[in-house]
Amino acid sequence: MKSLKFLSIIAISCCFSLSHGYAKETIYLISSSSAYDESYIPMIVKSFNNKGFNVSTQYLDQRLSDFGYVNTDRERAKNLVNALSNPQVKYLWFVRGGSGALNLLPILESKKEVIKKTSPKVLIGFSDVTVIHYFINNYIGWKSIHGTTAASGRVINASSNSDLSNQAISSRSANNALVQSKQSDESSLQTDAIEQIFSSINNGIKYQGLLPLNQSAHVSQLNGRLTGGNLTLVQTLFSTTYEKNWNNKVLLLEDVNVTYKQLDRLLHQLLFKKDFHPKAIVFGQFYPNKTNDGERLIYKQVIQSYADQTNIPVYYYPYFGHGKVNQPFILGENAKISCNKDSDYCSIVQNKM
Cα 113 from Cα 34, distance rounded (Å):
27
Residue among 25, 195, 254, 333 flagged as catalytic: 254
Given a contact cutoff of 8 angstroms between Cβ atoms, the answer to whether 80 and 52 are in contact is no
Cα 198 from Cα 193, distance rounded (Å):
8
Residue 159's contacts (CB-CB under 8 Å, 6 or more residues apart) are 192, 195
Residue 255's contacts (CB-CB under 8 Å, 6 or more residues apart) are 230, 231, 232, 263, 286, 321, 322
Angle, CA of 223, 171 and 322, to the nearest 5°: 55
Given a contact cutoff of 8 angstroms between Cβ atoms, the answer to whether 143 and 227 are in contact is no
Is the sign of the CA dihedral 131, 136, 137, 142 positive or negative? negative
254 a catalytic residue: yes
Given a contact cutoff of 8 angstroms between Cβ atoms, the answer to whether 255 and 232 are in contact is yes
| Residue 141 backbone class (left: φ over 0; alpha: ψ -120 to 50; beta: rest) | left
Look at residues 185, 182, 191 and name the one whose alpha carbon lies nearest to residue 208.
185
Given a contact cutoff of 8 angstroms between Cβ atoms, the answer to whether 207 and 347 are in contact is yes
Given a contact cutoff of 8 angstroms between Cβ atoms, the answer to whether 49 and 144 are in contact is no
Given a contact cutoff of 8 angstroms between Cβ atoms, the answer to whether 71 and 79 are in contact is yes
Residue among 47, 127, 173, 199 flagged as catalytic: 127
Q: Where are the beta strands (DSSP E) in 184-319?
A: 205-212, 221-230, 249-254, 280-283, 314-316
Given a contact cutoff of 8 angstroms between Cβ atoms, the answer to whether 137 and 104 are in contact is no
322 a catalytic residue: yes
110 a catalytic residue: no
Given a contact cutoff of 8 angstroms between Cβ atoms, the answer to whether 314 and 283 are in contact is yes
Which residues are part of the catalytic machinery? 127, 254, 322
